[in-house]
Structure formats: structure tokens, C-alpha cells
Amino acid sequence: MTTDEHRSDDQRPGDRSSVPALLAVQLAKDYGDRPALEPLDLQVPAGQHVALVGHNGSGKTTLLRMTAGLLDPSGGEVRVMGHRAGSLAARRVLSWLSDSPTFYDDLSLWEHLEYVGRLHGVAEWQTRAEQLLERLQLSGRRDDIPTTFSRGLRQKSAIALGMVRPFDVLLVDEPFVGLDSNGKTVLLELLDEAAAAGATLLVATHELAFVHRVSRLIALRDGAVVYDGVPADADVHALVLPA
Amino acid sequence: MSDVVIDESPEAALRALRRHRQRNRLGELDWFEAAYRVYLLGGFGGGSVLWISSSVKDQTVGDAALADVLAHGPAVLGLVAVLAVMAGLRGGAQGGPLALEAADVVHVMLAPVDRRAALMRPAVQRLRSASFMAVAAGAIAGQLAGRRLPGSLLAWSASGALFGATVAGLWAGSALLAHTSHVRRPIATAVAVALGAWQGAAVAWSVPGPGDTVGSIGLWGWRQHAVDAVPMVVAVVSVVAGVLLLGRLSLDALARRSALVAQLRFAVTMQDLRTVILLRRQLNQEHARHRPWMQVRRGGATGRGLWFTVWRRGWHGLLRFPLSRVVRMTALAAAIGVAQASVVRGTTPAFVVTALLGFVLGLEVMEPLSQEVDQADRADAIPIERGELLARHLFAPAVALVPFGVVAGLAAWLSLGARSDALAPVALLAIPTVLGAATGAVISIVRDAPDPFSSSRTDAFVPPEMAGFTTTIRLVWPIVVSALTTCTVLLVRGAWRSGESLTGAALRGAIGSMLVVLLVGYWVRVRDRVRHAVRKFMEEGRAATAQQKRGVWS
């Protein structure tokens, strides 16, 4: 489900194939005297499926959060489909699935889906929401408050919220944490469908089996890129070890 | 909510959905409970302020004192305004003054909604609450001033409220402008320090200060100057400019602060001042220093017993206080001295202000104790009776308070005109007063520790009427204990007025304050033991009663 499916023609941009989905130029982040991400140049073409791996604290989440516009870079910049990260246009095309989902404690899951769907101008949000809930086995919980859910159900709810809206770029941080086997299967299907619809995927994960489903692997170690290429050529287990 | 029109702008959707959330919240509101809280706050709080104020029969100031107030009042009140601007500048540079719900950051701020439109409501709410607090505080201070200064109570209350509103506006405006202009923290701090130093010079040496015209508004109960309207206009313009620039707020900062807001609101709801202060420190990104101010000697604790181990742990924490915290504590100590001096000069209610300031200072310095209480699982895993452990946590902070006692004493002595006959009483009273005022904080911290003898809170079962009363007592009691130690300054004032020995009165006061300190220390040590004994006694009583009943029935 990409953004264009929900855009009227007058909003549809021209040929975007030449514009990279993600473009980072000398993107860096430090927390005081501790660098979290060394200056990074990165280009992800539209429609590419990328896995981001690395040990804890390697800079994966920092990179994703800066791309989502949730974190100010210390240096450089990142663009999403040609738009400055965090700008209105970038927010329209980018969906962010955090590893620690947040919900309102006064809205049911269904009301959350309506909230997010309507904020993104989705006309048929109900149909999409029902499909997602059905597939994620959350239909029976649609009128419950997600803040009361277990870790796995919260993760499933976050997936539904991330997918109910249109997007061209999907950023996912540790999507498999807390999911049961059915949840993992459904998430992989949803990611495949998004990819088939032309979305660009950037997935940070410790689930090394997932790496072989993508076309490009980027490994970070202590804030620096140590591998950028096809997964088949990489010794993934060695890449995720800290220095 | 499902049957709404869906062909709409994101902003319209946001408004509609926020209305829906409001309906949800109002639907869940227990109106009786809300009314009861309003009754408690309005009736007890407001009534108490008026009752305490009217029961203190202070004399109206003389012509010389009035001239003094008119000459120095604008600069002193201006210092309050400048402190607010300083707080605003620093807060804005650190990501304040707004804080959103964590879910709003993800679901609203990452949606294609105009950020200024999305942030307008939280901004207005923040301004509204800050203004309300400042106006209320200003009006209370105004009516207190009106009891000793010429002019009607109403006029003084109104001028206090107007001063409060202006200060709130300046605070909010400076914070919003600092944040939206992305002013860096060192620059904000430098500007704030320069403003503070300038206004400090205005107070000390009567040179014109940047906050004088704002401070002058506080004296409108007696006389009005047209030029004082300028800072009001500045406040309004800065707030409007800040609101217009809301779209430039950093989402990074909003996201960081949002994580703490829910906890902060919960703490406020629970009247948990200690947690509120802790979370405020986190909101301001006030972290412990990576390197302590000085190293505690390594390896000294080995084989030297519990007392030394806890003492050492206390200094490990205290020596990591960041500079901003030390400066704040110094300012609190100086304010304690000034407030106590004003009691001697005739403003009796100021000893309650001292108690409040000392309470806050105590919450700051008792960090090692707080940490032990907050990490209850760790404390309970140590094979030492908890009371013994907590009591030992009082020593390092108590010693750390001594320099702040000196600061308070110095401020009091200077406020009293650096008179030579005031030196001895000030020297005797300063440290015991600061230590005593901090005991309220100790009570507040230790009282909130989990009860090791009970799996449930007993006050959860008291009737609502009693629960409200209990809550109020819980809130007020630590301040009352602090005030018991700060009111000893009245002995000195009494001796001064009757021509008795000031040193003797100060000595009696110091002994009284230290007795309270020792009693509170003893209470910390035996609290668990006493509670355990009382509970055992009650259980035995219940068992005996049940046995008697069985005997009667059989």
C-alpha cells in the first residue's frame, strides 16, 4: 500500500524513479562526547529492500530515528524521497514502526486506527483496518485499549497502525521482538506486499534469517558502516559482533 | 466516531479526533471525585491562605520602611522576573516549554499535519496553566503585602496577579523563542547568567536593572507608572511570536520530553512533590556529572563497616551533582536567609516560605536517601535492617548542607544590614535552620518508601472523606515539620523587640531546631520497627478478640 494509491492525480508527483528513497549526506549524531553515528553517506534507491544489522548500540536506531525526523542530526542531513526528513512532505511518504510502540491510553485500537488513518487522509481506512486486524488476529481486541496489551499484542497493534496509512518508505526497528510465530509470518507477508507495491523498506533487525529476504544488507559497528552489499556475500554473524 | 466524513484536511481530522478524545476523557471522569478535589483545593487551600494571612497581625510598615520598599521593591521583584526569563531561556534551549504525549509524537507529529496547528492546543494549555499558577501566586503574595503596606488588599492582590501574569508571559515567551530559534544551551546560559548578574547588581547597588519595570508592576497596589506597561507588551508580543513560530519546535526535544510527561502528570496527581522535582530535573536534562567534583578515596570502605560504606556511597552521589543543581541549591539557601531576615523585620508568614524553600533544598540534597528508597528491591536485598540503612544515609547529605547553611546565614546577615549585633545569632541559627528545614524532605522521602510489612496500602480502604483528609495531611505534614524548625527565628525577633539577649534566643532556637533534626533521624531509624510492633500488636488483638468470640459462641 503505497502513497500513490491514496493520492488524487493532482497530488501525484511526476517520475520519482530518479529520486532516491533515502539520501544521507555526511549524516552524523553524537550524544555529548560520545559519537552514536559517524558521518555517513548513504543512498537507497526507491523500491529497494534493505536490512540494517549491527550489535546493540551500533547506531541502527539512531539512523532510523533521524530518517524519521524524530532525532536532530549533529551534522549532515537526510532526505526522504527528496524531502528533508521530518518535513510535511517527508512525513506524508514515510511510515515509522518503532521498537517501543506508543499508544494513547484513552483510545481503543480501532479508534487508534481511525486516528492515524484520518490524519493521513485515508479514505477507506476502515476496510484496510479490518483486513489488518483480521490478519494480525486482533479483530477480537479492536475495542480494547492497546496500552493494556501484552508486549506481542502491542507490537501487532503498532504494525497495524504503521500499515493502515499510505507510505512510500517504511522504516522498521526490531519488528519481530515479542511476536509469536503467526505474528512473524504475517509481518513478513505484509512486508513482502509492501515491497511488491513498490515501497522502499529499511528494516533494522537482529533476526538474521530475515537478512536473506532483502536485496541489500547494511551493517553498522560502533556508528560506522562496516558492510554495504548483497546479503549473500556477507558473513552476517561476524558483522553483528561488536568490535 | 466511525460515521464521520472522511474527505477532510488532516488538521480538521485532528480537531475532530481531539474532540473525540476529550469526550472519552470526560466520559470517564468521576464528577463527584473531581468536585471533591476542587472543594479540597479551593476550600482548604484558599481558606488556609486567607486564614493564616489574617491571623498574623503584623504592623503596618512605617514611612522609612515604605520608602525602602518603593526604592528597592522594583529591583527585588524584578529579580523574580529575571529568574523566570533565565529559566525560560534555559528551558527553551533544552527543549521546553512544551511536552507532548509520547503517542502524539509518533501519531500526530509524524503525520502530514501542519505542526503549528497541531501544537497550538498544547501550547495554549501550557500558557494557561503557567499563567494560572503565576497569577494565583502573585495574588497571594499581593494580599500578604497589602496587610503591611498602605493601599487596599484588593489593589495589592490585583497588582500581584498582574505581576504574576507578566512574569508567566515573559517566561513562556522567552522559552518558546529560545526553542524555536534553536538557541544553543551555552548561549542561553550565558545570556541568562548575564541578565541575572545585572539584576543582582541592581538589587545590591541600586543601579537600573533589566527587570525593574516588571518589578514595578508589583507595586501598583500603591502607585502606578505608565512605563510599567512596556514589559506587559513585551510579554504579550514574545508569547505571540513564540506561538507563531511553533512549527519550528524540535521534534527531537519534544520526543525526549514526552517520555517523562506521563510520569510527571501522575506524580502531580499523586501530590508527589519529590517525584515531580526528580522528573523536572530529567526534563531539563540535568544528569549526574560523568566525573565527580573530586574523587572519594578509593578502597577506604573495606572492612570499615556499614556506616563508612553508606557515608562513602552518599558522597559518590553528592559529588556528582551538576553545576546547575549546585547553583540552584545555593540560590535556595540564599533565599532561605533572606526570608528568615524578613521574619525578623516583621513579616511573620515568611517563616513558612523558609520551610518550603528548605523542604525543596532538602529534596535536592537527600539524593542518596532518595535513590535508596527508589531502589527498594536493592535495599531489601541487603542483610541490614532498612531503618538502620536509611538513617545512615542522612549523614553525608547533612554534612553537605553545612555550606548551604553558611550561604543562608550570610544572606540573612546581609539582608539585616550586616549589623554586628546580628552576626552571633545568625551564626548560631543558620545551620540548624537549614538542617531543620530539610527534615520535611526526609519525612517525605522515607514515608513514601514501600512498606515491607504489608502487601497492600492500608489507606486504600479508608472511606473517601477520610482519604481526602489523609491526603491533605500527607501533603502538609512534612512542611509543618520544616516550619517547626524555621519558626525558631521568632524567638530572636521576640528578644530583639523586648531588648533581651539575641544570642541566648538564637541558642535556644538552634537547640530546638537540632532536637527536631535528631527526632526525625531517630524516626527514620525506628520507623519500620515501630510499625512492625504496632501491626503485630493489632494482629494479636484481633486474634484474641476472635478467640473470645469463639468462646462465647461455644
ipTM for this model: 0.73
Average pLDDT over residues B76-87: 93
Residue B276 scores a pLDDT above 80: no
Domain harbouring A94, CATH code = 3.40.50.300
More confident residue, B313 or B523: B523
User: Is residue A125 packed enough to be buried (19+ CB in 10 Å), middle (13-18) or exposed (0-12)?
Assistant: buried
Least confident of A151-155, B15-19, B82-86: B15-19
Of A70, A104, A120, the CB nearest to B111: A120
End-to-end CA distance of chain B: 64
Is a pLDDT exceeding 70 seen at residue B341? yes
Q: Mean pLDDT throughout B443-465?
A: 62
The residue among B422, B432, B444, B245 whose CA lies nearest residue B364 is B444
Domain tally for chain A?
Answer: 1
Contacts of B265 (CB under 8 A, 6+ apart): none
More confident residue, A221 or B280: A221
3-state secondary structure of A214: coil
Q: Are B440 and B478 in contact (CB under 8 A)?
A: yes
Chain A, nearest residue to B110 by Cα: A91
Q: Return the pLDDT at B543.
A: 83
pLDDT (0 to 100) of residue B176: 94
pLDDT at B513 over 60: yes
**Which region among B57-61, B95-99, B434-438 has the lowest average model confidence (pLDDT)?**
B57-61
The mean pLDDT of B393-401, rounded to a whole number, is 95
Strand A224-229 vs strand A34-44: parallel, antiparallel, or unpaired? unpaired
Closest CA to A93 of A126, A128, A127, A69: A69
Q: How is chain B split among helix, strand and coil, in percent rounded to 5?
A: 80, 0, 20
pLDDT at residue B438 above 80?
yes
> By percentage, how much of chain B surpasses pLDDT 90?
40
- Residue A109: all three cell numbers together: 485500537
Residue A38, chain B, CB below 8 Å: the answer is: no
Looking at residue B520, its pLDDT comes to 95
Cβ distance B14 to A119 less than 8 Å, yes or no, reads yes
Q: What is the pLDDT of residue B267?
A: 64
- pLDDT confidence of B456, banded at 50, 70, 90? very low
Please tell me which residue of chain B has the smallest CA distance to A103. Answer: B103
> Which of A179, A186, A182 minimizes the C-alpha distance to A151?
A179
Taking a C-beta distance cutoff of 8 angstroms, is the pair A103, A157 a contact? yes
Q: Using the predicted structure, report yes or no on whether residue A5 has a pLDDT greater than 60.
A: no
- Could you tell me which of B387, B348, B427, B428 has the C-alpha nearest to residue B525? B387
Q: Which of chain B's residues have a Cβ under 8 Å away from the Cβ of A74?
A: none
| Chain A CB contacts of B107 below 8 Å | 102, 104, 112, 115-116, 119, 161
- What dihedral do alpha carbons B532, B535, B540, B544 form, nearest 10°? 170
Answer yes or no: is pLDDT of A16 > 70: no
Q: What is the mean pLDDT of residues B314-340?
A: 91
pLDDT-based confidence at A195, cuts 50/70/90?
very high
**What's the one-letter identity of residue A114?**
E
Using CA atoms of B279, B283, B286, B287 in order, give the dihedral in degrees to the nearest 10. Answer: 70
Strands A169-173 and A200-204: parallel
Mean pLDDT of chain B: 84
Residue B455 pLDDT level (bands cut at 50, 70, 90)? very low
A33 has pLDDT over 80: no
The string of pLDDT tens digits covering residues A136-168 is 999 999 988 898 899 999 999 999 999 999 999
Report the b/e string of B420-439 with b at 16+ CB within 10 A.
eebeebbbbbbbbbbbbbbb
Centroid of chain to Cα A8: 24
Q: According to the model, what pLDDT value does residue A202 have? A: 96
Question: CB A91 to CB B111 under 8 A?
Answer: yes
Is A9's pLDDT higher than 50? no
pLDDT at B95 over 50: yes
φ, ψ for residue B499, nearest 5 deg: 75, 20
* Residue in B6, B112, B255 nearest the CB of A91: B112
pLDDT at A10: 36
- Is the pLDDT at A6 greater than 50, yes or no? no
Gap between the Cα atoms of A136 and B248, Å rounded: 38
Mutate to test the interface with B, among A8, A11, A104 (most CBs of B within 10 A): A104
Q: Please give the residue range of the domain that contains residue A141.
A: 3-239
Q: Give me the pLDDT at residue A128, please.
A: 93
What's residue B450's pLDDT? 63
Q: What nine digits make up the cell of B443?
A: 519525612
Give the confidence band of B77 by pLDDT, cuts at 50, 70, 90.
very high
Per DSSP, chain A holds a count of helices (H) and strands (E) of: 7, 10
If you average pLDDT over residues B188-208, what whole number do you get? 90
The stretch A104-130 carries a mean pLDDT of 86
Query: Does the pLDDT of residue B460 top 50, yes or no?
Result: no
Average pLDDT, chain A: 87
Q: Mean per-residue pLDDT for B5-28?
A: 77
| Residue B309 pLDDT exceeds 90 | no
pTM of the model: 0.69
Query: Which of the two residues, A14 and A29, has the higher pLDDT score?
Result: A29
Instruction: Check B251 against A115: CB less than 8 A apart.
Output: no
Residue B265 has pLDDT above 90, yes or no: no
Q: Mapping DSSP to helix (H, G, I), strand (E, B) and coil, where does residue A228 land? A: strand
Q: Which stretches of chain B sit within 8 Å of chain A by CB?
A: 1-2, 4, 6-10, 13-14, 16-17, 20-21, 24-25, 28, 101-108, 110-115, 250-252, 255
Q: What is the pLDDT of residue B266?
A: 65
> What was the pLDDT predicted at B553?
61
